């Protein structure tokens, strides 16, 4: 039987924060992330002296976890890309 669609995949970072380029940044409390952004350039983002603006930037970024990926793609297969035993990325794929 032929597949009904082309093969596809989606990927989400798990341990490294791709927007701020700071490992495990997403695990810090929102207030701590905003504080860091008010004082330093982080990854692709430049320092934001205004605390409310920094908090808004931090709150605008949400990394999708494994459960959310499978909820978004219910027929997908989940694969965890690992480096040194830690999950680096979550990849879902289907259509094969």
Tens digits of residue pLDDT in 14-73: 766 777 888 888 889 999 999 999 999 998 889 999 999 999 999 998 888 899 989 998
User: Which pLDDT value is given to residue 16?
Assistant: 64
| Cα torsion angle, 10, 58, 33, 31, sign | negative
Strands (E), the chain: 8-13, 16-17, 22-23, 77-83, 86-94
Report how far apart the first and last C-alpha atoms of the chain are (Å, whole number): 11
């Amino acid at each position: 039987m032929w597949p009904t669609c082309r093969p596809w995949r989606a990927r989400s970072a798990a341990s490294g924060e791709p927007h701020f380029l700071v490992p495990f940044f997403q695990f810090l409390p929102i207030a701590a992330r905003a504080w860091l952004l008010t004082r330093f350039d982080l990854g692709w983002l430049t320092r934001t002296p205004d605390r409310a603006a920094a908090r808004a930037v931090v709150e605008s970024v949400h990394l999708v976890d494994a459960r959310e990926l499978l909820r978004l793609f219910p027929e997908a297969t989940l694969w965890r890309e690992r480096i040194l035993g830690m999950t680096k990325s979550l990849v879902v794929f289907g259509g094969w």
